[in-house]
């Protein structure tokens, strides 16, 4: 039986905690073969992002075309796009290849505060949003996409997710990791209803790459044939456990990565 395949289209993190490194680790941990298309090279570590080198849009498209020409891709996870040209190239590639499962993590700002998306890219990012099966913004990204204040509670999260749904994706998974309270609550909002996913909030500074990891875990579930609801439920449980085990890694001097292989090492 052939292994399920997921493709990540995202930027690099040479320190291994976020971007394609986190995506490929997540795919492997969840039993999915991972392929990767680079959109940008970053010079970063657990303390910050120091430089970004964007990959030319035509080369991003060539990488995507090469993967789809040879591999049976079950799901696509999209992360950092870098600029408008890259976002437009990815949108056009989605139109060419029509993957059945597309998970978009609208990466705009790194967890350390560095901008990872050019100011000119918002219109092109909306092209990608409209082609996604599910978009996974955190509270900061949802507010930025809508030009709105940060959601204060679940009612605000629901309202913002509904507005993002109007941009054309199949579903919106709005994540409450940046919120307060004892629980971290995510809402999966679709045209026909909302599902709530809650987990105890873990007290740790080591949360580098959580957004990448969650979106990749959702894509892994979809590649394995799970429904979106089941994929999100599995992804939430996986990320929560990876965060809870993050302090065992002790990687870096800043906000370290989650432990992708917490149940294997």
**CATH code, domain carrying 219:** 3.40.1190.20
Span 205-215, pLDDT tens digits = 999 999 999 99
With respect to residue 188, please indicate whether it lies within any of the assigned structural domains: yes
Lowest-pLDDT choice from 43-52, 67-76, 178-187: 178-187
- The Cα diameter of the chain in Å comes to 48
* Residue 260 in domain: no
The predicted structure's pLDDT at residue 119 = 61
pLDDT at 116: 55
39 is catalytic: no
Choosing from 39, 42, 207, 213, the catalytic residue is: 207
Q: Is the pLDDT of residue 168 over 80?
A: yes
Residue 210 annotated in active site: yes
Residue in 191, 184, 195, 186 with CA at minimum distance from that of residue 168: 191
Could you read off the pLDDT of 13-28 as tens digits, one per residue?
Answer: 999 999 999 999 999 9
φ, ψ of residue 11 to 5 degrees: the values are -90, 170
Answer whether residue 172 is part of any domain: yes
pLDDT mean over 188-195: 96
- Residue 74 inside a domain? The answer is yes
Q: 209, 221, 255, 256: which one is catalytic? A: 209
Active-site annotation holder among 8, 26, 210, 240 = 210
Please indicate, yes or no, if residue 257 is contained in any of the structural domains. no
- Among 105-119, 128-142, 163-177, 232-246, the range scoring the smallest mean pLDDT is 105-119
Containing structural domain, residue 178: 5-248
For residue 255, being part of any structural domain is answered with no
* Residue 133 falls in the annotated catalytic set: no
For residue 209, indicate whether it is catalytic: yes
Close Cβ partners of 165 (under 8 Å, ≥ 6 residues apart) = 171, 172, 189, 190, 191
Whether 252 sits among the annotated catalytic residues: the reply is: no
* CA nearest neighbour of 131 among 99, 86, 155, 108: 99
Across 227-245, average pLDDT: 97
Q: Is residue 254 part of a domain?
A: no
pLDDT at 181: 74
For residue 109, pLDDT beyond 80: no
Question: Is position 170 within any domain?
Answer: yes
Q: What is the pLDDT of residue 121?
A: 75
The number of domains in the chain is 1
Highest mean pLDDT among 68-72, 111-115, 204-208: 68-72
Catalytic residue among 211, 221, 255, 256: 211
- Please state the pTM of the whole predicted model: 0.95
d(CA 215, CA 193): 20
Catalytic residue among 175, 177, 179, 213: 175
Per-residue pLDDT at 157: 95
Percent of the chain exceeding pLDDT 90 equals 84
The one catalytic residue in 8, 17, 79, 212 is 212
User: What token pair was written down for 210?
Assistant: 């959580």
Per the prediction, the chain carries an average pLDDT of 93
The pLDDT assigned to 120 comes to: 65
Has 181 been annotated as catalytic?
A: no
């Amino acid at each position: 039986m052939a292994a399920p395949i997921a493709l990540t289209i995202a930027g690099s993190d040479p320190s291994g905690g976020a971007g394609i490194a986190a995506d490929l680790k997540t795919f492997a941990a969840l039993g999915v073969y991972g392929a990767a298309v680079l959109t940008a090279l970053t010079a970063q570590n657990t303390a910050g992002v120091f430089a970004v080198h964007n990959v030319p849009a035509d080369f991003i498209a060539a990488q995507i075309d090469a993967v789809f020409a040879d591999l049976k891709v079950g799901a696509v996870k999209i992360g950092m796009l870098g600029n408008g040209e890259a976002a437009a190239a990815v949108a056009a590639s989605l139109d060419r290849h029509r993957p059945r499962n597309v998970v978009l993590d609208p990466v705009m700002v790194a967890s350390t505060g560095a901008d990872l998306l050019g100011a000119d890219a918002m219109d092109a990012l909306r092209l990608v949003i409209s082609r996604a099966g599910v978009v996974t913004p955190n509270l900061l990204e949802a507010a930025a996409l809508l030009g709105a204040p940060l959601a204060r509670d679940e009612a605000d999260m629901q309202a913002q997710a509904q507005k993002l749904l109007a941009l054309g994706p199949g579903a919106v998974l709005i994540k409450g990791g940046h919120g307060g309270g004892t629980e971290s609550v995510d809402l999966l909002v679709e045209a026909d209803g909302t599902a709530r996913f809650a987990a105890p909030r873990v007290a740790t500074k080591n949360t580098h790459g959580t957004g990448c990891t969650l979106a990749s875990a959702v894509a892994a579930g979809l590649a394995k044939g799970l429904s979106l609801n089941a994929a999100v439920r599995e992804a939430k449980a996986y990320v929560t456990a990876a965060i809870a085990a993050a302090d065992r890694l002790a990687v870096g001097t800043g906000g370290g990565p989650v432990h992708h292989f917490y149940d294997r090492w």
